[in-house]
Structure 1
Amino acid sequence: MLVSLQIGSLIAPAYACGCGAMVVDRNSQVSVDRETSVVSWSGGAEQIVMQLTVRGNAPEAAWIMPVPRRATVELGDASLFSELETLTAPVRETRHYFWPHADDWPFGGSGSTSGDSAAAPSAAAPVGVVGRERLGPFDVARLTATDPTALEGWLTENGFELPDRLSTALRPYVEQKWEYVAIRLAPQEKGGPLLGRLDPLRLRFASDEPVYPMRLSRLATTPQSLGLYVLAAHRMEPRGRIGGPAPEVTYAERVDTGRDGGAYPALGELTGGKPVFLTAISQSFPRPERIDGDHELRATAADTPYRTTYYRDELLTVGPVPAWVLTLLGGVAVAVAAVLLVARSRRRRPVAPPPPVMAPPPLR
C-alpha cells in the first residue's frame, strides 16, 4: 500500500496555506489567492471545511495538513461558503447629522455627503497509512507517525521530497502525536494547470478543544491572510495572535440553521440543524515567518453580537431644505414674534391719570 501511493516528485514549497503546506515540483509555481475555512466544534467533535482558490502553472501539487486525532475526509458542499457569505455580509445604514459639514451648503457642495466608516494514540509502526480515498480531483492519504525521521523518510520514498524547512516544521506535530492528511491535487482536465476554485474538503476528527492548524504557514514567502468561520455553542475567539496582528471579528451572532424552512441547507447539514453561534474572524500575517503556533479557539466571556456596518452619512433635511436652515428660520421667526408682542402690549397698556391736586387749607 505504501508503494502504491505515488504522488509525484514534489520538491520546493511555493506556498503554505493557513491550514497546511502546499508543495509543487521545482519547475512549477502555484499560489493560493484565497483560503476560506469553517471550523465547527461541538462536544469534542471538530469539523474543518476548506476551500482554496489557486492559480499557477503546476499540473499537480500536494498538500499536507496536520490534525490532532484520526480524521475522516470527504468532499464538502461548496454552497456552504455562499450561505456564510450571505449571513455575514456587512450591512449598510444611513446616519443623519444636523449641522452642515465643510462640503455642505453654504460652505460648498450640494447639501449631502456620504462615506463608509466603516493527541492521538501512537501507531504500532513509525509510519502507517490508515486510509486512502479518491475524492473528486483529490487523492487523499491519512498517515500516522511516531518518529519525525521515519515520517520524513516515508514521505521521501513516496514522492514527497520535502525540503529541510518543511521537515523541521512538521516535527512539533510528530512530537505531539498528531496525524496527517496528505492530499494530491490534480486538475480536472489531465495535463492542464491547477486554476480556479477547488472543490472543498471536509475533515472530521475528535478534539478536546477547537483548533485550527496554522504552524506550517510560517513557510510562506508572501504575506498571508486568514478568513475563518467558527460554529460553536458560544461566541469564539483565538487564544493568541500566534505571530500576527490581533484577529478581527467581523460577525458574531446566534444563527438558527433551520429557519425559513431550510434557508441554509448546507449550514444546517454541517451543524445537524441546531442553532449555533457563528463567529467570523479575519487576520493578516504580513510576516508569516513569525507564526509560532496553531489557533486554539475558546469561548468569549459573553456572547455579544456584532456585525460589520458601513454607514452613509447624510445631512438631515425636511424635503429639499436642510433641517438646520428651518430651525434657524424658526428661531428668527420666534424672536421677531416675541419682539412684536412686547411692543404691541406696551402700546395697549392704559395710562394712569395724574393724582388730584389738593387745595391748600384756608388761612386763619
Structure 2
Amino acid sequence: MRNRPGGWALRALSLVVLVFAAQLGSLIAPAYACGCGAMVVDRDDRVSVDRETSVVGWDGGTEQIVMRLTVRGDAPAAAWIMPVPHRATVELGDAALFSELRTLTAPVTATRHYFWPRAKDWPFGGSGDGSGAGAGAPAGAAPVEVVGRERLGPFDVARLAATDPAALEGWLKENGFELPDRLATALRPYVEQKWEYVAVRLAPRESGSPLTGTLDPLRLRFASDRLVYPMRLSRLAATPQSLGLYVLAAHRMEPRGAIGGLPPEVTYAGRVDPGRERSAYPALGALTSGKPVFVTAIDQSFPRPGLIDGDHELRAAAADTPYRITHYRDELLTVGGFPAWMLTLLGGAGVVVAALSLVLRARRRRPVTPPPPVTVPSPLR
C-alpha cells in the first residue's frame, strides 16, 4: 500500500504536537508531592521541587531531619506538610551543614600506575609522559490541634496534631490553600497511626515575588525508637523522584527495602569525628554535639512514584564497612621521568652485559697449565 503524498509530514507533525502537549502538561500540573512531604499550592499556581536534600540523624531515641528544598514556579506561596511519628520541635537549620557533608562525601581521584606501555604511550604513540505509634492527640481533642506556631525566617510554621484529614483540609483552607483529594487519602495511614504533622507556609522573602530558588533549611526533632524517613506522600508525584539522604548514626545504616523504587545505592560510608575536626565540620559538630558519628550517604531513584508503598525504615548494616567512590586516573609508571619498563629492560640488559664481561675477564685471568714434558727414548745400542 502506497502512502499518500505528504503522509509522512502529517505523522511527523502529529508526533511533534504530542510531545509538546506532554511537556506542556508536565509544566502546568501542580507539584503536590516532594521527596518526603506534600507541597500544596493554589489551583491556578504551579510550583515544583527541583532538588531536595535531607540530613537524617538518630541517636537511638531522638531523630532529627534537616531538609533544604530548591523550588521554582510562579506561586506566591505554598504549604508543605511533613508527617512525624511524635510531636516535633522546628527551627531553622544551618545551610553550611550541606556544604560540609557534600565535601566530606565527595568522590576522590586516585592515580593508578601500570607498568607496560599501552597504545597511547611511547613507542606505540604519545611522548611517553605519563516503629512505635506516635503520641497522638488525647481523646476528645479537636480534630486539628495547633500545638505550636512560630515564624522562622521566611517560614510560617504550624505544628499540628490531626485526627482527621478533613480537619487538616480545614486548616489549610483557613490559610489560603486547598487540600487535593489524593493527598487527603494519602494522609490517612498517618492519621490512623496517630502521627502528627508539621505544616509550613512557604513564602518568598520579598512580598509578591514568586516562590523560587533554594529555601532556608528547616530542622525537625522528635522522639523515635526507630529511624524512619517519611516517603509515603511521594507516591502522589507525577514525575520520577530522586532521594538523597545523609544518615548520621552510631553505625553504617541501610534501608530495609526499596519501597517501590530502584535499589538504594550507598555513595559514601565512613566515620567522622567533628569534635576533633572542628575547623572542617563546625555545622556537623553542632548537629551531633561534637560526638563521633558514622555518615552514610544514600541515593535512590523512583521512576514510578505511584509504586511507593511505605516509609523508609533504616537499620544498622551487618558491618561498619567504609566506602567511598574513587575515580582512578591511569598513568604509566615512571622513575625520574623515564618509563619504568624501559629502565627495567635497560637495567636487565646492563646486568647481562656485566655478567658476560665478568665471565670473559675470569677466563682471561685463569692461569694456563703448561703441557707435560715430552720424553724421547734413547736409541738401542
TM-score tier after normalising by the smaller chain length = 0.7 to 0.9
1:8 corresponds to: none
Note the alpha carbon deviations across 1:53-111, whole angstroms, 9 max, x for none: 11222211111111111111111111221222232233222222111222211222233
Q: Which moved further from structure 2: 183-192 or 349-358?
A: 349-358
1:121 corresponds to: 135
Quick one: structure 1 residues 272 and 213, their matched pair in 2 at CA, closer, same or farther if it must change by over 3 Å?
A: same
Q: Does 1:57 align with 2:57?
A: no
Match for residue 239 of structure 2 among 203, 208, 222: 222
Q: Does 1:304 align with 2:321?
A: yes
Q: In 1, are the aligned partners of 2:269 and 2:321 still within 8 Å (CA)?
A: yes
SS of aligned partner of 2:83: strand
Equivalent position amino acid for 1:177 in 2: K
Quick one: structure 1 residues 110 and 59, their matched pair in 2 at CA, closer, same or farther if it must change by over 3 Å?
A: farther
Q: Does 1:186 align with 2:203?
A: yes
Distance 2:30 2:227 in 1: 27
Equivalent position amino acid for 2:286 in 1: E
Match for residue 183 of structure 2 among 166, 169, 176: 166
Distance 2:93 2:60 in 1: 21
Q: Does 1:89 align with 2:103?
A: no
| Alpha-carbon offset, residue 249 of structure 1 | 1.9
| Alpha-carbon offset, residue 129 of structure 1 | 2.1
| Alpha-carbon offset, residue 184 of structure 1 | 1.1
**Superposition pairs of residues 95-244 of structure 1, within 5 angstroms:** 95-112=112-129, 119-123=133-137, 124-152=141-169, 155-156=172-173, 159-244=176-261
| Alpha-carbon offset, residue 263 of structure 1 | 4.2
Q: In 1, are the aligned partners of 2:248 and 2:295 still within 8 Å (CA)?
A: yes
Note the alpha carbon deviations across 1:271-305, whole angstroms, 9 max, x for none: 12222222222222222222221111111222222
Q: In 2, are the aligned partners of 1:68 and 1:179 still within 8 Å (CA)?
A: yes
SS of aligned partner of 1:254: strand
Note the alpha carbon deviations across 1:127-167, whole angstroms, 9 max, x for none: 32222222111112222222345444554565442223222
Distance 1:128 1:49 in 2: 24
Distance 1:185 1:235 in 2: 34
Distance 1:15 1:106 in 2: 62
| Alpha-carbon offset, residue 318 of structure 1 | 1.4
2:36 corresponds to: 19
| Alpha-carbon offset, residue 182 of structure 1 | 1.4
Distance 1:297 1:13 in 2: 31
Note the alpha carbon deviations across 1:288-333, whole angstroms, 9 max, x for none: 2222211111112222222332222211111221111111111222
Q: Does 1:72 align with 2:89?
A: yes
| Alpha-carbon offset, residue 185 of structure 1 | 0.6
| Alpha-carbon offset, residue 233 of structure 1 | 1.5
Q: In 2, are the aligned partners of 1:12 and 1:24 still within 8 Å (CA)?
A: no
Equivalent position amino acid for 1:273 in 2: G
Q: Does 1:33 align with 2:47?
A: no
Q: Does 1:321 align with 2:319?
A: no
SS of aligned partner of 1:334: helix
1:295 corresponds to: 312
SS of aligned partner of 2:31: strand
Q: In 2, are the aligned partners of 1:235 and 1:299 still within 8 Å (CA)?
A: yes
* TM-score for both structures, normalised by structure 1: 0.86
2:17 corresponds to: none
2:285 corresponds to: 268
2:296 corresponds to: 279
Match for residue 259 of structure 1 among 267, 273, 276: 276
2:353 corresponds to: 336
| Alpha-carbon offset, residue 345 of structure 1 | 4.2
Q: What number of residue pairs does the alignment pair up?
A: 349
Distance 1:33 1:154 in 2: 27
Q: Which moved further from structure 2: 351-360 or 165-174?
A: 351-360
SS of aligned partner of 1:93: strand
Q: In 1, are the aligned partners of 2:51 and 2:71 still within 8 Å (CA)?
A: yes
Distance 1:241 1:94 in 2: 35
Task: Kindly report the root-mean-square deviation, in angstroms, between the aligned alpha carbons of the 2 structures.
Answer: 2.7
| Alpha-carbon offset, residue 212 of structure 1 | 0.9
Distance 1:243 1:206 in 2: 27
Quick one: structure 1 residues 58 and 111, their matched pair in 2 at CA, closer, same or farther if it must change by over 3 Å?
A: farther
Quick one: structure 1 residues 223 and 358, their matched pair in 2 at CA, closer, same or farther if it must change by over 3 Å?
A: farther
Higher helix fraction: Structure 1 or Structure 2? 2
Q: In 1, are the aligned partners of 2:65 and 2:220 still within 8 Å (CA)?
A: yes
Equivalent position amino acid for 2:103 in 1: T
